[in-house]
A and B are shown apart, each in its own frame.
Chain A
Amino acid sequence: MNYLEPYLILSSILFSMGIYAVITRKNAVAILMGIELILNSCNINFVAFNRFGNFSTLDGHVFTMFVIVLAAAEAAVALAIIINLFKNIGTVDVDQAKEMKG
């Protein structure tokens, strides 16, 4: 496969799925999983552009490594937040957490 487009299509499908999951899911863990999907779609984009974009360096790869590390850290933090949320309101349903309602 020597074309850029299939990668971008895959990436956008993954992104859309991630967004969809983040917006529609009520479960906080599921939202977190949506975020992981979005991050991975980004990773695919980075690598794809690095491969087809006439770059002499491996910037896209390095960025991807950073994003994976960041995603791991973010997942750890987010899970800690979710546990605290559960402890405070007894559920992981994000609709119940509307303290910020104006």
Chain B
Amino acid sequence: MSEILQISLFLLLPILSFTILIFFGKRLKEHSSTLALILISLMFVNAVVLFINAISHSGSHHHHWSLHNTFEWFSTGVLYINLGYYVDNITAIMLLVVALIGLLVHLYSTEYMKGDQRYSRYFAFLGIFIFSMNGIVLADSLIMMYIFWELVGLSSFLLIGFWFEKDKPPLAANKAFLANRVGDIGMFIGIMILYFNVGSFNINEIVNGVANMDQSLLTIAGLLVFMGAVGKSAQFPLHIWLPDAMEGPTPVSALIHAATMVAAGVYMTFRIFPFLTPEALSIVAIIGAVTALMAAITAITRNDIKAVLAYSTISQLGYMIMALGVGAPVYAFFHLVTHAMFKACLFLCSGSVIHAMHHSLHHLDDHTTDPQDMSNMGGLKSKMPITHVAMLISTLAIAGVPFFSGFLSKDGILAATLSYYHMHHGWTVLLPLAGFGAAMITAFYMFRLIFKTFYGEPKKKEIYDHVHESPLPMTIPLILLSFLSLAFAFTLNMNPLKSKGWFKDLVGHVNHNFLDMDLIHSGIHHAHDQAMYLSLLVASLGILASILFYYFKKLNVDTVANIFNFIGLYKLSRNKFYVDKIYNKVLYVPFFMITKISSFIDWNIYDQKIVDAWGWITIKISKYSGVADYSILDQKIVDGTSHLTQFVSAKLRKTQSGIIQNYLLGVLAVLVVFIIVINQI
């Protein structure tokens, strides 16, 4: 019982926060953040307790610790729909990550969102987001996961469009919702295919039950479910919504669009990984590789600090998906966790910079300059020392420098792609190429961001003069997260050549229905050294190039851009690979043409010709019937009656003399006539 209570607290506390703040937020005013902070802290403590519980149970290597419970939701005849939770080490880690980042973002937001007119509603939305995210993590069945999947979509929609009175946020929110919709439709169809073939929504039962399924159908079903992850984790070709989602408040970007929600797709794919067929996995790997490389190239030419981070997030998510595709789910999950830490840190740092820029611009009464544009920054190092150090640490982590967390996880993924190539040969060489290429570009553009923001001469002196370091509630999360971006947080092993640590022990062994995981594991192990040296090489190349370009300015950026332009790469990057434009051409333009044609048919043909013709006929008919009615019925028959009445009464009125004696005479005459008549009878 206490177990169920402990698990349900993960859902109850955030939804309680949401309910209270939605109904009483106006009355609580600035206390609403305190309330939300207390509730999320309780949840964090709960997550820590669960996590310690998981650690204490994971002593023996082959023993799988798990808690699960199922409740009937509803049943109709032979259809039983169950909801329940399934908690193992991975769930415990994921819950801790969500709770930790959630807590830090809450703390950060108390300062960042100060003075916003919808302060309490912001925290209410954060509450419903954490509620739905925990639901995804805890779900033991695909249908329950789908429900919470849609709920995180909703909370993401609400938070992206939080400043709905501006122009762009509502459009961005719509775009995010629609792009996710596409993925979710596929996911739902996939879930249904699995249900009708296996007879259960429960993930473990599906994993055990797919053995009898037709392989090609299973491939299709697996890919359809994966489509949900393509939407939610912003993979090519549905990644277009994530850069736009940066219209939301920056802490939201850190929590939802960097650390947790977008990682939900990876988490879900991790859960369904055991029954994805090798064919499906190779497509997963390709999608991940394309996304990783493409987003990295796009990130180079962004000038908006958050746009760089957005594309970087897409690229890193591509890494995770690629890792799943090549059969290294442990590294995918590892990268998910390390990425959650350093990317949340990066976003919160960028928020800190934007916050400072915004205040400076506000001070100068300048409302036209974009506070997020890096070309207005520069030299902020001395002004914002804490932000600078935190951002530098997390950048080193994302660039894959040893002793930082990103190195451990990214290294594993690159080793996995390399080993995948060793096993399959042929086209699969593209996967490690994309992986290493993206790693180099990542190092390059991340340092470009650092140099443009914190180093060099200030671009605008007057803005620079009014920039100040952010207050304590904003810097504490930065310090904590940058600490967690260090490799020590994940392994106590100081030797970068050996990446054993508590984390991988905790995740343990992941089984697969069709693949020999031991073989893959030893392959990765063999490729590890090679991958590590290569990744060190590409990372240092990227960093070096960045230093030459942006720190010493030895190389002219424009010349190099022109060289790349020669092969079309620069233009591709600048225009985000034309994905939005292609969607515009392929989807919007034909769609508008169809609507125009149907509008033409509807208005010019149907409305103007057919409907209006009926009107014309009706007018004609009513004209004749009007004539008939008026001149015959009304004028002749109705008026005729009245004329007759008038004529008769005009004659009769003369008998009414008004003299009583005349009347009496009449009465007498009638009486006499009556008597005569009666006598005759």
Contact = CB atoms under 8 A, between A and B. Distances in A.
A23 B653 CA distance: 21
Interface stretch (B146-154, B330-338, B528-536, B661-669): B661-669
A22 B664 contact: yes
Contacts of A24: 661
Contact of A102 (B653, B661, B665): B653
B661 A23 contact: yes
Contacts of A31: 661
Contacts of A89: none
A102 B656 contact: yes
B664 A23 contact: yes
B644 interface: no
Interface string A3-24: 0000000000000000100111
A95 B659 contact: yes
B660 interface: yes
A100 B656 contact: yes
A31 B661 CA distance: 9
A24 B657 CA distance: 15
B658 A94 contact: no
B655 interface: yes
Contact of A100 (B658, B664, B668): B658
B656 A94 contact: no
B367 interface: no
Nearest to A102: B656
Contacts of A87: none
Contacts of B664: 22-23
B658 A102 contact: yes
B654 interface: yes
A100 B656 CA distance: 7
B652 to A, nearest CB: 8
Nearest to A23: B661
A101 B653 CA distance: 8
Nearest to A98: B658
Contacts of A100: 656, 658
By secondary structure, the B interface counts as: helix
A94 B659 contact: yes
Interface in A84-102: 94-95, 97-102
A98 B654 CA distance: 13
A99 B661 contact: no
A94 B660 contact: yes
Interface residues of A, number: 13
A97 B657 CA distance: 11
Nearest to B665: A23
Given A19-B668, A23-B668, A94 B661 contact: yes
B52 to A, nearest CB: 113
B668 A98 contact: no
A85 to B, nearest CB: 11
A11 to B, nearest CB: 16
B660 A99 contact: no
B661 A101 contact: no
A88 B29 CA distance: 85
B95 to A, nearest CB: 103
A95 B657 CA distance: 10
Contacts of B660: 94, 97
A22 B661 contact: yes
Contacts of B668: 19, 23
Contacts of B654: 102
Contacts of B665: 23
Nearest to A94: B660
Interface in A38-57: none
A101 B655 CA distance: 9
Interface in B85-102: none
A24 B661 CA distance: 7
Contact of B655 (A94, A97, A99, A102): A102
A19 B671 CA distance: 13
Interface string A61-84: 000000000000000000000000
Interface in B186-245: none
B658 to A, nearest CB: 3
From A95, A101, A102, name the one whose CB has the most chain B CB atoms within 10 angstroms.
A102
A23 B666 CA distance: 10
Contact of B657 (A19, A23, A101): A101
Contact of B658 (A19, A23, A99): A99
Nearest to B652: A102
Contacts of B658: 97-102
Interface of B: 652-661, 664-665, 668
20 contacts: A22-B661, A23-B665, A24-B661, A31-B661, A94-B659, A94-B660, A95-B659, A97-B658, A98-B658, A98-B659, A99-B658, A100-B658, A101-B659, A102-B652, A102-B653, A102-B654, A102-B655, A102-B656, A102-B657, A102-B658
5 nearest interchain CB pairs?
A102-B656, A101-B658, A98-B658, A102-B653, A100-B658
Given A22-B661, A101-B657, 6 more contacts: A22-B664, A23-B661, A94-B660, A99-B658, A102-B655, A102-B657
